[in-house]
Structure 1
Amino acid sequence: MTTPGCCLLVTTEFQASPDEAALLLQSHARRLADLGANLQPTGTHSYHLTLAGGGSATLAMTGPADARSRPAATRNLVLLVEDRGGTTPELLASVIRTAEEVGFTGTESAALHAQLPLTLGLAADYRAARPLAGIALIITGHFVTDLIPMVDAAIDLGVPADAITVLRKEYAYRMRRRIDASLADRGVAVFPVGKTIEGVRDHARRAAAKGLRCLAVDDGGYVLPALLTDAAEVLAAYIGVVEQTMSGIFKLEPFPELPLPVLTVAQSRLKGTIESNWIADAAIFNIMDLLPDEKVEGQPALVIGYGNIGAAIAAILRDRGMRVAVHDRDLVRLIAAHETGFTTGQHLPALLADHAPLLVIGTTGRTSMTAPHFLALRRDCFLASVSSRDTEFDLPRLAAAAVSVVDLGNIGYRYELPDQVDVTVLADGYPVNFHQADSVTKSHSDLICAALMLGACVLAHPRHGFADGHNVTRTDHVLEASGLLAHYYDLYGPHSTSPAIGRSLNPARYRPRPLGLPLPEILVEASP
């Protein structure tokens, strides 16, 4: 957290043992010295800094003011810039960034690992076989905390840490600085998704230098479209893609002939059946958190898209007392929504005008609202996306139609349309379930993370049996034959004895253990 003003206060909270906290303070003091700061100890846990240009600051390690108000072992790394002096803005920004970039401590990593027993259990099963040895892995990732255990699992499975690349989605993640630092601590390369072309090229170059084959675990269809267009010269270095979102599947539609196998977790029964409720819960929680003063009971809402996630969101909104309408271009889904008791309509502009929703949630993974739809709005309303990227709503068209656009900070932007209609786009049009949060909890995301890592292990096998293009049936068989679902049911079914909060607070007891999963070659040979 950074507090602006004539003085600058930067506070980064973390959990650590006393020894870890002391080492972390020393490490950050050295990093600030590398930036040219002159450091003088002022106590056991603090330094006075003289910055180039005459600025002065204090770096200190503190505990919370009220220990009972925060988790056990909570510490704060505090940077207080008392006087900026003649310190340049660029240097000051580097000093602040250094204070914010606190990698996860051993205490925190153990707690994170304990919350992903399937992903880390899979890694424990396969650690000796090292099925990803010989692979350079590129991961498109949300910068939420489960990314770190997933990267650690890949390393356990045989990928050299410096042969991993993460393509970072540019959402408003609460832990972004800390995850950046944790990846840097491991030697992992990071590129923003806006530089996917450079990322896939650099990844192929580094893989070739190590004699490794490239494999992608994608989230949103970034890697393969890049390889089929601007980075086609490195396509031959890649052997396959594991894709986890329907948005990514849609991004592949312009390419009827795919030259690589796609293990499509996105279209699997495992993901489609189990994940939707978690995503829906996270989305509604974050929407209500952004709008604490809004009374939604009795108000109209509209859900665009009645797939698994859209259906779950519509049900939650109705349970909260909202009057819910649904639109879907697919007539089968629209009829399903109608026969579930929702107001429905085939013509979206008419439904927007007649239902006059206070809240519109887009879940299609495509662009669901554009100019004619914005002009059909009859009242002030909020738009929220639960799709990858910021393409669910045609924001350039919305901006063009607006009389003015107002920045509302962490809430998003308000577009003031003619006829005194204000449209507030939450989370800047990015998926609201990831806005300044971890989206679904780590225990929820564990099954999908494990499925993605299992998919990577299978595609790395030379006789994986996946044809070029989409492999929905074979993906289902491999995932369901793996035993992951049986272990998930044991963990969270009717006879569960290990609560997630217990694993988080007592990680030593719930250290991830081998699951006894069949090796990838057995799954491959058993698949039809």
Structure 2
Amino acid sequence: MESIVQLDQHIASDIERGTFEAFQCQGEPEQLIEAIVQTLDIFFTASDWEVSRGLSHVVFSHKSCEITIAAKSADAKRTAVSSPFAARHQMTDIMIISRNSDAISNQAYLLAVDFLRVYCSSYSSDEVDLIRGGFPLLASVSAQHNFESDNVALIFRDHFLEDNLGFLLSCKDSGINPRWIFALSKGDRTLKRDRIASYLKSLHFNVGLFDNAAFDSKAFDENTSSVYGLIEQFVLQAKAAGRRVILIDDGALMPMVFGQRQHLIDFTIELTIIGIKRLSKLASLSMPILDLARSKLKTALVYPEISDACFRRVRHMLGDEKFSGRTVIIAGYGNAGRPLAQKFRSIGCQVVVVDVHKIPLICAAEEGFRTFSSLRAALEQHKPMLVVGCSGEVSIGAEDLDLIPNGCYLTGIATRDLSEINKNLGKQQIVNIPGFGNEYRLAGGRVFYQLGDGRSVNLFESDSIPNKAGDIFRSAVLILLASGIRTPEKFCTGINLNQVDDVLLESGIYDAYYETYLEQAGSPK
């Protein structure tokens, strides 16, 4: 058997030929090689490969071909979970090398590479423990419920964020078999979306992408059509198995897609106001909709956190810009726009508020902001350095683009806010800036910049709000899930808002939240 020194020589020669892939993973080299072999050994043995192992490498041989996987200690570092108290853990560099390849070994090599990519990008047990530790309320609520005997199938469609990973793991802890959970990403470029998907797949969750951009454009692309077929198959299998199908949705796309077959879903928990607006426009609803989006809990405790995340993300992306004294337009003075306007004013910005509805416009004016009932009217009198869409509807329309000043930055809290911009500019006028957004070049040499990818700026290559800040919201979702399963008589067909507020108040979650985070000044218990 070759020594590690000899393996390193082979690695050097194979790197020159380009037949290798390199990864990094948390753990000790010997332990990782053992875990990798246990998985891949089944495939290679079945395919008549010979396997020879060392402490930190394994060689799969087939005739004159070899595939080597070698592991070597790397510098210890903190896990990817953002915590100032996270311990440093041993890291390992893993390399896979293919020599003397033929068609059979090329296929085996690609399979092993795909496996290692998923294996190394997934969360480690230490990282998962840290994530779980960020949700003390959710852990407590999960411990109070056991859905194992309730015959439940769950479709979950939301951003792939760590707080949602914590929620899905809590559903698993509460007795819902991952086989009966379909987790769907919305397509936003959240920071850890690939790692979350890999980890969920490793636990045998059903995982897919149902991009809300397909709905906004009123056209299903091939990928969306494919995943819709998988969702329909999942629902029909669940019904055939005598299971109730429950939907947790961010945007109300699923009930609208099912159309006249809404009855296949027993009830929905809707998380967003745009989702409630979409549902309200339907001719009829044949199931209960639990309206968490407009609940007192989300209005008072969650929207300020979302605004704060947007504020921090914008400041980070515009790190070398001056803010104090400069004009910022906030288009929409609702649950998210109001705290965002106050934050920009707190750092010395001249904040202008736009809203098409008179009550929020009156509130903004009486709180000392300059106000306008249209963005165009505001742009005719002000030259902002930043415009933030906060309405949850189209905030910046095609009719406004000719008044956007040179060098201005545009961004939004929801996908709909900026949805009209790209429709009115050709691709030749857009230059992508990796990690930042787009530069838009207009006639006469004028340019403006879009922060992010045209969707929620707090989700652009970020993990949005801190896990502990999302603890009460994810706990509320689990409480409503349990109430809808155990006490369905509390909810009527159609949109239920007051009932949601009553269930959350009766659950004791507010007392638990206060006692956990706010009862004493200082660190939470």
- Distance, in Å, in 1 between the alignment partners of 2:274 and 2:64 is 49
Q: Structure 1 residues 178, 50: CA separation in 2 closer, same or farther (over 3 Å shift)?
A: farther
In the alignment, structure 1 residue 117 sits paired with structure 2 residue 143: no
Worse-matched range after superposition: 437-446 or 38-47: 38-47
**Partners of 1:11 and 1:76 within 8 A in 2:** no
Amino acid at match of 2:436: I
1:62 aligns with 2:73: yes
- Corresponding residue SS for 2:306: helix
1:396 aligned residue = 422
Distance, in Å, in 2 between the alignment partners of 1:239 and 1:5 is 58
Write out aligned runs for 1:6-17 (5 A): 10-12=22-24, 14=26
> 1:297–1:156: structure 2 CA closer, same or farther, 3 Å change rule?
same
- Counterpart of 1:201 (choices 213, 232, 248) is 232
Instruction: Pick from 258, 274, 277 the counterpart of residue 227 of structure 1.
Output: 258
Which amino acid is 1:64 matched to?
D
- What amino acid maps onto 1:208 in structure 2? K
Equivalent residue for 2:151?
134
| Cα distance, 1:376–1:90 mapped onto 2, change above 3 Å | farther
The match for 1:334 is: 361
Show the counterpart of 1:160.
177
Matched, 1:279 2:279: no
Within 1, Cα distance between the matches of 2:46 and 2:455?
35
Which whole-Å CA distance do the structure 1 matches of 2:390 and 2:89 have between them? 37
In the alignment, the residues of structure 1 paired with residue 31 and residue 321 of structure 2 have an alpha-carbon distance, to the nearest angstrom, of 43
Q: Deviations over 1:342-394 (max 9, x none)?
A: 2211131121242221111112111111211112212212211211x455331
What secondary structure sits across from 1:429 in the alignment? Answer: coil
Larger radius of gyration: 2
SS at match of 2:462: coil
Distance 1:338 1:59, change over 3 A: farther
Counterparts of residues 39-438 of structure 1 (less than 5 Å): 44-46=55-57, 59-60=70-71, 62-64=73-75, 71-80=86-95, 97-102=114-119, 103-127=122-146, 130=147, 133-194=150-211, 195=224, 197-228=228-259, 232-233=260-261, 235-387=262-414, 389=415, 392-400=418-426, 404-438=429-463
Over 3 Å counting, the alpha-carbon distance change for 1:41 and 1:309 in structure 2 is farther
| Residue in structure 2 matched with residue 495 of structure 1 by the alignment | 520
One-letter amino acid matched to 1:429: G
Shift of 1:200: 3.4
SS of 2:267's equivalent in the other structure is strand
SS at match of 2:404: coil
Distance 1:70 1:153 in 2: 23
Q: Deviations over 1:253-292 (max 9, x none)?
A: 3204211111111010011011122111211222222222
Runs of at least 5 residues in structure 1 that lack an aligned partner in the other structure: 501-528
RMSD of aligned alpha carbons: 3.6
Q: In structure 2, do the counterparts of structure 1 residues 66 and 243 end up closer, same or farther at CA, with 3 Å as the change threshold?
A: closer
Deviation per CA, 1:235-263: give whole Å up to 9, x if none.
Answer: 32211100111121122132042111111
Residue 480 (structure 2) pairs with residue 449 (structure 1): no
User: Relative to structure 1, is the Cα distance of residues 119 and 67 closer, same or farther in structure 2, using a 3 angstrom cutoff?
Assistant: closer
Equivalent residue number for residue 486 of structure 1:
511
TM-score, normalised to structure 2, is 0.82
Query: Aligned AA for 1:107?
Result: D
TM-score normalised by L of structure 1 = 0.82
Counterpart for residue 524 of structure 1? none
1:423 Cα deviation from its structure 2 partner: 2.1
Structure 1 residues 152, 372: closer, same or farther in 2, change over 3 A? Answer: same
| Paired residues of 2:191 and 2:459 also in contact (CA < 8 A) | no
Structure 1 residues 94 and 372: CA distance shift in structure 2, 3 A:
farther
**CA–CA separation in structure 1 for the residues paired with 2:201 and 2:109:** 21
SS for the counterpart of 1:154 is helix
Q: Which digits, 9 at most, give the CA deviation of each residue in 1:62-93, with x for residues without a partner?
A: 34266799942434453457789989999987
- Larger relative contact order (C-alpha < 8 A, sep ≥ 6)? 1
Q: Quick one: structure 1 residues 392 and 332, their matched pair in 2 at CA, closer, same or farther if it must change by over 3 Å?
A: same
How far does the alpha carbon of each residue in 1:462-486 deviate from its partner, in whole angstroms, 9 at most, with x for none?
A: 5432111111111111111110011
Please give the alpha-carbon distance, in whole angstroms, between the structure 1 residues aligned to 2:337 and 2:276: 18
Letter paired with 1:171: D
CA distance, structure 2, for counterparts of residue 51 and residue 363 of structure 1: 60
CA distance in 2, matches of 1:380, 1:92: 49
> Quick one: which amino acid aligns to residue 167 of structure 1?
L
**SS class of match (2:440):** strand
Q: Is residue 63–residue 75 contact of structure 1 (8 Å, CA) maintained in 2?
A: yes
- What amino acid maps onto 1:493 in structure 2? L
